[in-house]
Structure 1
Amino acid sequence: MRADSSLLLGLDTAGSSCSVAIMDKSHVLASRVEIMRRGQSERLLPIVQDLLAETGKDLMDMDGFAVTTGPGGFTGVRIGLAAAQGFALACNKSLVGVNNFEVLARGVPVDEKGVDTQIVVVIDAKRADLFVQSFDSKLVPLTAPFASLPENLNDQLPDGNLLLVGDGVDQVAEDLKTAGRSINFSKASANADAGNLLRCALEQKLFEQEKQSVEPLYLRAPDVSLPKDKTTF
């Protein structure tokens, strides 16, 4: 499939927002990002319907779909994957996945990407630790995705000036400054934009690759509490 000349739909529900975008011939026709901690399952389909109406398109018109694979909340990641898989199956079209680190890094403005700049994406994991990945100015990964406590992050990053982006940056700034790091904050959105998701998918030529399974990116085990044993003797 020539994805750069196709009609594509992307969606993200992995983090603290819900985002949908429709792209035609590498141009975003419509997109929306709604900030929300919960409730993506209720908002996703209405947003999709709104953008289809806005663009005068139908879901069956789509030539392919893209979804963020995480990391993020377990429920949010699953909501997005399930919806995207359902769309792709119903339309018999391709589905590709991009992780949220790449999508957030893609949103950093070009004028912020200095040659010696290390882009550090920091995602709030809703616990003591954070989800992190580092990229160079050309968005080539410098580290694999990992989870880290704020006080340990400096030791896990390569040397160099840091440009921070994501909804967890405020939780690491002080520790990085204390460690002697030079840091700046990107003006990019702290939440994933489905338009950038689709741009990543095109730039990585994902739609041109052989069909492969889209799997969630989890960096820790789920928070599961076993029920208490109420058996009486």
Structure 2
Amino acid sequence: MSTLILSLETSSSICSVALHQNGALLGQSELRLEKSHSSHLSLLIEQLLENTGHTMHDLGAVAISDGPGSYTGLRIGAAAAKGLCYALNIPLLAISTLQALAHQVTAHTSRPENFLYCPMLDARRMEVYAALYTHEGQQVLAPTPLVLEADTLAEQMTHHQLLFFGSGAAKFQALVAEHPNAGFLTNIQPSAVAIGELAHEAYQRQEFHDVAYYEPFYLKEVYTTTPKNKA
């Protein structure tokens, strides 16, 4: 049976949507505008479906970038995905943002088995959200917040060639650029296309999330403060 999966990627400043049918890409659209998610996500979805000759009722599932990433962006994406899944009574899929970034790179790397893949997302100052994967997507290091220092991931780089990429990688490059086992890639941004490719596999395994209780994987707690009343 044909399965149409809509994928949403809102973990960064890029607002990205993609449509896959049985794993094959039908169309994609994205905006690289700061704070565009809340005002443009629904429009991007509607235009993508219209441009590919489909309607909301054709969807078989919705996939969301699970995080880590922007707290606001992840909340907006999750709300949109949950709303669609609830209204259409279809499954919700959640794909790790870091795993999807690694998937993008492995798919275009010559001899991918020679490397471990380390996506890094900027978490401000000298901190990043990072993970390690093999070329087959196996997790070597679970997503974790890292404070970047010259000896960060030193043990892994002693035994393996590592490729670093993502919005936080440039900060690490300044510390370990001379290391023979450290390679860096630029302009690797989160994409709904990679989310959709991994979502097709997750759909086959029926790795669905509870629409009512799903929350994005923020990795770190978000702290808010209440403004003091003025005297």
TM-score normalised per structure 1: 0.87
The match for 2:25 is 28
How far apart in 2 are the matches of 1:132 and 1:177?
A: 18
SS at match of 1:146: strand
- Checking the alignment, whether the CA contact within 8 Å between 2:28 and 2:48 is kept in structure 1 is yes
Match of 1:85 among 78, 82, 87: 82
Match of 1:197 among 195, 198, 201: 195
User: Are 2:71 and 1:74 aligned?
Assistant: yes
- Checking the alignment, whether the CA contact within 8 Å between 1:11 and 1:19 is kept in structure 2 is yes
The match for 2:56 is 59
Match of 1:131 among 123, 129, 140: 129
1:156 deviation in Å? 6.9
Q: What is the one-letter code of the residue matched to 1:55? A: T
SS at match of 2:156: coil
How far apart in 1 are the matches of 2:85 and 2:62?
A: 6
Structure 1 portions without partners, runs of 5+? none
How far apart in 1 are the matches of 2:34 and 2:132?
A: 25
Match of 2:156 among 136, 158, 162: 158
User: Are 2:207 and 1:184 aligned?
Assistant: no
1:28 deviation in Å? 0.8
Q: What is the one-letter code of the residue matched to 2:13? A: S
SS at match of 1:72: coil
SS at match of 2:28: strand
The match for 1:38 is 35
The match for 1:106 is 103
* Compared CA separation, residues 38 and 71, structure 1 to 2 (3 A): same
How far apart in 2 are the matches of 1:207 and 1:94?
A: 12
SS at match of 1:145: strand
How far apart in 2 are the matches of 1:96 and 1:153?
A: 36
Q: What is the one-letter code of the residue matched to 1:9? A: L
How many residues are aligned here? 226
Q: How much is the aligned-residue C-alpha RMSD, in angstroms?
A: 2.2
How far apart in 1 are the matches of 2:227 and 2:204?
A: 42
Match of 1:47 among 41, 44, 65: 44
Q: What is the one-letter code of the residue matched to 1:228? A: K
The match for 2:168 is 168
